[in-house]
Amino acid sequence: MFRKKGEGYLTAKESRRISKENRKITEEFEKKRKRKNVPESEYITQMRDPNNEVEFDDLHSYFYTDAGVVKSVDGVTFDVPIGKTVGIVGESGCGKSVTSLSLMQLLQRPQGQIVSGEIRLNRGGKVYNIANTPQEIMQDLRGNAVSMIFQEPMTSLNPVFKIGDQVDEVIALHEGKGKSKEEIRRQTIEALELVGIANSEGVANMYPHELSGGMRQRVVIAMALACHPRVIIADEPTTALDVTIQAQILDLLRDLKSKINASIMLITHDLGVIAEMADYVVVMYAGRIVEKGTAEDIFYHPAHPYTLGLMASKPVVGREVSELYSIPGKVPNPVNMPNYCYFRDRCEMKMSCCDGDYPCEIRLSDTHVVSCYRYYEEHKEEAERTANANLLQTARMAAAGEEVKGDA
Ligand SMILES: Nc1ncnc2c1ncn2[C@@H]1O[C@H](COP(=O)(O)OP(=O)(O)OP(=O)(O)O)[C@@H](O)[C@H]1O
Ligand code: SF4
Ligand SMILES: [Mg+2]
């Protein structure tokens, strides 16, 4: 039995109907994805800005579950510039991993699907729209153009194979054509050395359980870097490690970034990690971006009440508080998201106009964008130029009845 919007539970009959509908929809997606000999015109595209390595453009990634459609990523737009680190932050379940898994086409299928929007990935001047790229092409892009460091090193490594063999396999699979076993092993040793493993030949002959957590995470990073990807996704790369090892791994990522000039998408709950590492920050809430900007924009001029809440719930050295702030309430049910601001029911700054439709994006500066009615009056002209006319009509009508400015 499943919960249904505003009432008790889904009946078994209703659940069967949903699952039948889902099957129909996901089969269509799967058919499209598995096509062979797809003409390039369907998936080769142009970057909006040639300075970007990746552009997410109105990405929608959904899961078709028996309880209904989970809109895990619901209209996400942001850029990953060449050689920069973009931090993605937000609480558990807000869609950070689903965003990055969409870029790798690694959503759990068939229920997980990129439904609409584009993800443009620049590979040496050739730009792929990942949302339309067929499976066979994707295999070549994964690892070579973009690769991922997962959260838990013990689950990313196979316990029954030696470290060296596992790294060899990655290299052989992606760029091993015409290379001898010895050449591949040499590349493995280089990759292990690059991530600061001193006794790399010895470690190559060990099994994962013989290494410490920090060493295992280094190996996982070596595997991700082995084929020199231009984009590295690091999904909570330090969460499973203790604090001193965390600091070492962050130093390593920073050092590697300057050595190989790759772009990093750094996903984390930890604002401290973002502050140390990121050039740009994207704040997600319930499948959408509520605020994005440079690290300076977000840390010195946070605008969205959710970002302000995240900042306030972080301990600060030297500031004495009796208890840490916690954002009240909880995230709305992902199967039935409301049509007003998703943060409204938890927002301590809400106004009467917040009952209107989901707020449009408002540009606070060239780099800083926020989705919140609080900034509507101040930036009305810009918002009117760029946003959806219906949304603005609601905002205008609602705002007319209330002073928006200055009651923060
Ligand atoms: N395989 C799946 N089937 C159904 N729903 C899923 C699946 N994977 C993720 N989701 C849903 O998608 C939403 C976003 O999940 P996601 O894993 O991206 O969160 P996250 O921001 O990475 O959270 P965390 O910080 O806990 O890793 C959640 O509501 C989650 O329940
Ligand atoms: S739109 Fe309103 S409810 Fe939503 S975050 Fe802004 S102030 Fe809060
Ligand atoms: Mg995650």
The CA 235 to ligand 3 mean position distance, Å, reads 7
Instruction: Place 405 in a pLDDT band, splitting at 50, 70 and 90.
Output: very low
Residue 165 falls inside a structural domain: no
**Entry field: residues in the chain:** 408
pLDDT at 80: 97
Least confidently predicted of 12-21, 116-125, 284-293: 12-21
Take atom 25 of ligand 1 and give the residue whose Cα is closest: 92
Residue 396 falls inside a structural domain: yes
Give the ligand at the shortest distance from the Cα of 304. 2
pLDDT at 32: 85
Domain total for the chain?
1
Alpha helices in 80-239 (DSSP H): 96-104, 135-144, 153-156, 163-175, 181-194, 200-204, 213-225
Q: What is the pLDDT of residues 229-259, one digit of tens each?
A: 899 999 988 876 777 778 888 888 888 888 8
Is the pTM for the entire model greater than 0.85? yes
Residue 330 falls inside a structural domain: yes
Residue 350 falls inside a structural domain: yes
Residue 375 falls inside a structural domain: yes
Residue 174 falls inside a structural domain: no
- Boundaries of domain holding 368: 326-400
Residue 360 falls inside a structural domain: yes
pLDDT at 50: 94
pLDDT at 146: 93
Using CB distances shorter than 6 Å, the residues near ligand 2 are 304-305, 341, 343-344, 347, 349-351, 354, 359, 372-374
Q: Does any ligand 1 atom lie closer than 6 A to the CB of residue 88?
A: no
* Cα distance between residue 338 and residue 142, in whole Å: 36
Take atom 1 of ligand 1 and give the residue whose Cα is closest: 108
The CA 385 to ligand 1 mean position distance, Å, reads 34
Residue 338 falls inside a structural domain: yes
The CA 405 to ligand 2 mean position distance, Å, reads 13
* Distance from chain centroid for Cα 68: 23
pLDDT at 52 over 70: yes
Instruction: Place 390 in a pLDDT band, splitting at 50, 70 and 90.
Output: very low
Secondary structure class of 241 (helix, strand, coil): coil
Mean pLDDT of the chain: 85
pLDDT at 260 over 90: no
Share of the chain above pLDDT 90, in %: 47
- The more confident residue out of 156 and 201 is 201
Q: What is the rounded average pLDDT of the residues 29-46?
A: 89
* Residue the block writes with tokens 């699979």: 173
353 Cα nearest atom in ligand 2: 2
Instruction: Place 324 in a pLDDT band, splitting at 50, 70 and 90.
Output: low
pLDDT at 169 over 60: yes
